[in-house]
Amino acid sequence: MHQNPVQPLIDQLSALPGIGQKSAERLAYFFLSLPQADVGRFTETLTHIRRHIRYCERCFNLSLSQYCSICEDTSREANVLCVVAQPKDIGAIERMRQFQGRYHVLGGLISPLDGIHPELLRINELQRRLSEEPVKEIILAINPTVEGDATILYLSSVLRQYSVTLSQLAYGLPMGANIDYTDEITLRLAFDGRNPIQGAPQ
């Protein structure tokens, strides 16, 4: 039987999320059409990033060094923190080009059914930052889902003891929405119309 010599590449590509058999074939033949040097650069970049990627020691964004480029950027406001579930949510908010503060990545959302309890999230680390950094406002940019709501509820009780204004994104976001798939205009409106959960005690 005829065995397509490109099939192992197609099989690996079709295992990628969102890539079906047809797209995998198209990508495989695209790679084959590239000069050897371009393919080399692609695989080197993939290998380099995979080998060296780590979490920023301050905000837990993905980074290639101890601190991510956002934490290292001294022009970013240190008094506003945007709390997100995953590093990929930062990408969506950064594309909006509006938020000038810093981030804190929880590493997930509370979901008791999946065994994700608050202790597994980086909430202690967030509290440590609040005692070390001049944070005045926290924006919870968390998906409007059951897990997101549970996380917001938990955070708002834990953060009550700090002198910070706490707000969450406005629900222009549809229930069940994914921040990383939300278009920039909707996300910007959700940011601008953010709802206070609690104000800083006077």
Which residues are at the interface with Zn ion (CB under 5 A)? 56, 58-59, 61, 68, 71
- Closest distance between Zn ion and the C-beta of residue 78, in Å? 12
Let me know: does 105 contact 122? Beta carbons within 8 Å: yes
**Contact indicator for 106, 151 with CB cutoff of 8 Å:** yes
Residue of 160, 176, 170 lying closest to 191 (CA atoms): 170
Q: Are strands 137-140 and 80-84 parallel, antiparallel or unpaired?
A: parallel
CA dihedral for 48, 50, 51, 53, sign (positive or negative): positive
Nearer to Zn ion, 43 or 124 (CB): 124
The nearer residue to Zn ion, 68 or 173, going by C-beta atoms, is 68
Cβ closer to Zn ion: 58 or 122? Answer: 58
Task: Quickly count: other Cβ atoms within 10 Å of residue 175's Cβ.
Answer: 11
| Minimum CB distance to Zn ion, residue 83 (Å) | 13
Tell the burial category of 110 from Cβ atoms under 10 Å away from its Cβ (0-12, 13-18, 19+).
buried
Q: How far is the CB of 81 from Zn ion (least distance, A)?
A: 11
* 198 contacts 156 by C-beta, under 8 angstroms: yes
CB of 50 to Zn ion, least distance (A): 20
**Residue 104 CB, nearest approach to Zn ion (Å):** 9
Shortest reach from residue 105's CB to Zn ion, in Å: 8
Please, which residue, 127 or 186, has the CB nearer to Zn ion? 127
**Residue number, 71 or 190, with CB nearest to Zn ion:** 71
Residue 16: both structure tokens together: 């990628």
Instruction: Give the torsion sign (CA, 5, 7, 8, 9).
Output: positive
Whether 151 and 124 have beta carbons less than 8 Å apart is answered as no
> Which residue, 69 or 161, has its beta carbon nearer to Zn ion?
69
